[in-house]
Amino acid sequence: MTRIMLPPEWTLQSGMMLTWPHCDSYWGDMLEDIDNVFVSVAKAAAERQRVVVTCRDVQHEQHITQLMQLAKVNLANVSFYHAPLDDIWVRDHGPITVMKDAEPMIMDFKFNGWGGKYPAENDNLITRTLHAKGCFNRTPMQSVEMILEGGGIEVDGHGTLLTTTSCLLAKTRNPELTQAEIESRLKTMFGLERVLWLEHGDLSGDDTDGHIDTIARFVDPHTICYVSCTDPEDEHFETFKKMEQQLQTFTDYKGNPYTLIPLPWPKAKYAEFDGRRLPATYANFLIINGAVLAPTYDDPADEEALQTLQDCFPDREIIPIPSTAVIQWYGSVHCMTMQLPYGVL
């Protein structure tokens, strides 16, 4: 019998993917600022594993290489691939890798720009383009006729997937599928025993319909860290209190209540171009080999968030990534990265 598992983020990785911003995208007016965020992430990751960079063409690659050289990034661990691209959010347009009988297999889900909100035709093709170019070595790839974004799911490595009803049941994703049908497919594709559906946690400024990776994350199979709003005057206070109450009803794969660790709440951040409130949270961290890349927002709560994550991951280095620039288009560190489990590269 074939054994399938979607490995959690804390398992050993062979690399991490980035889709680099370019001047003709939404990032054109703030390219230097967003480049700096990407270089910080690449530098931290390249010290510990491979980094796969998708960029537009030779000129784009040369620009990125110069930035990395100035920052003393370990270029020996960086590989470049060229492809047409729309935006940076590789967490959602990139591959989701499962282990099939302990061997990696890439799953290429359809990506439609979070329900048609943004152009996504190029990004939808990136995974198969890179696979055809040999990016993933000999790792086989399966194309899946279902819309699913990596930011919408969290797994514990023991048969449990955590997600939100607002995202996975959005009628702009897979309107022909019921909740039961979606759950059945997830269990089959990822080797799951159960799916935990969060029904609360709406985040102002979030254009993903409620990705789980901005509000609640597995730290280990028995622990969930989650966004906590303690300000009764904040518009999020009630929904996050309800989310906390629902998390308290969940049990881990052994049937015990989860250890729940609240993350602090940064002050409200607003978009520079239209004044819209931004979905800045500390839950959007990335686990890599030996470290956690943690978003910071030039906020009084940054230090508490870093310490909380250090408590969550005592055996890993916590590396702050200034993320004020990347949050301007509604994402953060986890959204702009995708890990590749050991054996893919």
The pLDDT, as a whole number, for residue 2 is 83
**SS3 call for 218:** strand
The pLDDT, as a whole number, for residue 273 is 82
Pick the closest to residue 66 from 45, 35, 88 (CA basis): 35
CA distance 27 to 137: 31
> What confidence tier does 39 reach under pLDDT thresholds 50, 70, 90?
very high
State what percent of residues in the chain have pLDDT above 70. 100
The boundaries of the domain holding residue 68 are 4-341
The pLDDT, as a whole number, for residue 54 is 98
The pLDDT, as a whole number, for residue 17 is 98
Pick the closest to residue 56 from 86, 89, 17 (CA basis): 86
State what percent of residues in the chain have pLDDT above 90. 97
Q: What is the mean pLDDT of residues 86-93?
A: 97
User: Could you read off the pLDDT of 215-268 as tens digits, one per residue?
Assistant: 999 999 999 999 999 999 999 999 999 999 999 999 999 999 999 999 999 999
Element of type H or E holding 59: helix 58-70
CA distance 239 to 99: 35
The first and second tokens of residue 334, run together, are: 């986890």
The pLDDT, as a whole number, for residue 240 is 96
For residue 189, give the CATH number of its domain.
3.75.10.10
The pLDDT, as a whole number, for residue 142 is 97
Contacts for 21 with CB less than 8 Å, ≥ 6 apart: 27, 31, 34, 35, 38, 87, 88
Element of type H or E holding 293: strand 291-296
The pLDDT, as a whole number, for residue 26 is 87
CA distance 51 to 338: 10
Pick the closest to residue 114 from 57, 168, 78 (CA basis): 168
Q: What is the mean pLDDT of residues 333-340?
A: 98
51, 79 in Cβ contact below 8 A? yes
The pLDDT, as a whole number, for residue 272 is 86
The pLDDT, as a whole number, for residue 27 is 93
- Quote the mean pLDDT of the chain: 97
Pick the closest to residue 293 from 9, 7, 75, 4 (CA basis): 9
108, 136 in Cβ contact below 8 A? no
Cα-Cα-Cα-Cα dihedral of 95, 41, 65, 141, to 10°?
-10
The pLDDT, as a whole number, for residue 274 is 86
55, 25 in Cβ contact below 8 A? no
Q: What is the mean pLDDT of residues 90-111?
A: 97
Amino acid (1-letter code) at residue 104: P
pLDDT of 307 above 90: yes
Residues forming beta bridges with residue 142, ordered by sequence position: 107
Q: What is the DSSP string of 154-210?
A: EE-SSSEEEEEHHHHT-TTT-TT--HHHHHHHHHHHHT-SEEEEE-----TT--SS-
The pTM of this model reads: 0.97
Question: Cα Rg for the chain, rounded, in angstroms?
Answer: 19
The structural domain count of the chain equals 1
Element of type H or E holding 261: strand 259-263
Q: Tell me whether strands 286-288 and 78-82 are parallel, antiparallel or unpaired.
A: unpaired
The first and second tokens of residue 329, run together, are: 């288009």
Q: List Cα–Cα distances, 126 to 116, 130, 238, in angstroms.
A: 17, 6, 39
User: Could you read off the pLDDT of 135-162 as tens digits, one per residue?
Assistant: 999 999 999 999 999 999 999 999 999 9
**SS3 call for 69:** helix
